[in-house]
Amino acid sequence: MRVNVLGNTGIKVTELCLGALPMGPLQKNMPLQDCIRVVETALIRGITFIDTAQMYQTYAPIRKALKTTGIRPVIASKSTAPDYEGMEKAIEEALEQLDVHYVDIFLLHAARMGTEVFDARAGAIECMKDYKAKGIIRAMGISTHDVKVARLAATRQDMDIVFPIINKAGTGIINGNIEDMKKAIMDNHAAGKGVYLMKVLAGGNLINDYMASVDFARDIGGCHSIAIGMVSPQEVNFNVDYFSGNYDPGKTPTVKGYSKRYKIFTNLCKGCKACIAVCPNYAIEFDEENKKAYINDEKCLTCGYCNPACGEFAIRTI
């Protein structure tokens, strides 16, 4: 696999990054041992970059896999914390639960927020700066679905890393289109930022067009790594082989025929709209006549962020 340096950070990563979201409780909610095996396989097969988040609740399997393999990859985490105290708690939680002395990359988890994010979360940014000065995080940045945010990040000295959404369908991009996001990525690259990409398979919706989708992302200039969610050793092996030039469709039964949907069961929905507030792609809409929320499948990224927001457990994977 190719190894690239994330902009001016000096941090070296493989082109393929293990995305830890899908195996956790927001999506597949896999048993701990199964999650550990996925991370172990990734590390043993040479993936040196893992993307996780406070929200994903996947620190435990990463910690266990680091111990069993003795391999220390580059780890990126992120938090939605709005202020200094919240971000400090998030960083300390990552250090403790991962059992590490430093976290390589820490990001503002801001998929849906617009350019106001830098003012609204100024306290969180100050905290990240302080922890970077102490060497407890090596680089800081932002994850975003918003073209305008990605463009603004390119102009800010405090943003070392940008983690934008892009895929060949344009699913999930806010305030722009595919070409706009490509331009924002190139702006960040020109500014010396590290760039890695999220949701190149549109949250799994493009899985049956895997090769074209991944090749599209790999051909984007200015990016250094691509995060792909994986939920089995077979998927890890397939992705590693593909990124290494050894594609064999016969060895990838878990990739074929994949489908996943989230549904709001209206008999359980209380109409509180909490799920609408957290959806990063505005995919949850509201039936004013019946006072029920529902999911627009054409917009849904199947990220699962809505699931914990529902106190009635009305949102289920089908």
The C-alpha atoms of residue 123 and residue 128 are separated, in whole angstroms, by 9
Tens of pLDDT along 30-69? Answer: 999 999 999 999 999 999 999 999 999 999 999 999 999 9
Write phi, then psi, for 120 (nearest 5 degrees): -65, -30
Q: Report the chain's mean pLDDT, rounded to a whole number.
A: 93
pLDDT band for 251, please (50, 70, 90 cuts): low
Looking at residue 204, its pLDDT comes to 83
- Is there a contact between 172 and 204 (Cβ–Cβ < 8 Å)? no
Fold assignment, 262-317: Alpha-Beta Plaits (3.30.70)
pLDDT band for 144, please (50, 70, 90 cuts): very high
Residues with Cβ < 8 Å from 207, sequence gap 6 or more?
A: 201, 255, 258
Q: Among 180-189, 238-247, 293-302, whose mean pLDDT is lowest?
A: 293-302
More confident residue, 279 or 308: 279
Q: Is the pLDDT of residue 257 over 80?
A: no
Tens of pLDDT along 109-119? Answer: 998 899 999 99
Q: Is the pLDDT of residue 149 over 50?
A: yes
In 3D, which of 154, 86, 163, 162 has the Cα closest to residue 125? 86
Average pLDDT over residues 240-267: 73
Looking at residue 250, its pLDDT comes to 63
Looking at residue 249, its pLDDT comes to 66
Single pTM value for the model: 0.89
Residues with Cβ < 8 Å from 225, sequence gap 6 or more?
A: 4, 6, 13, 14, 15, 16, 17, 49, 196, 197
Q: Is the pLDDT of residue 236 over 90?
A: yes
Looking at residue 299, its pLDDT comes to 87
Write phi, then psi, for 51 (nearest 5 degrees): -110, 125
Q: Is the pLDDT of residue 260 over 80?
A: no
Looking at residue 256, its pLDDT comes to 47
The C-alpha atoms of residue 304 and residue 64 are separated, in whole angstroms, by 24
Note the CATH number of domain 3-251. Answer: 3.20.20.100
Structure tokens at 130: 């302080």
Looking at residue 259, its pLDDT comes to 54
Domains of the chain, residue spans: 3-251, 262-317
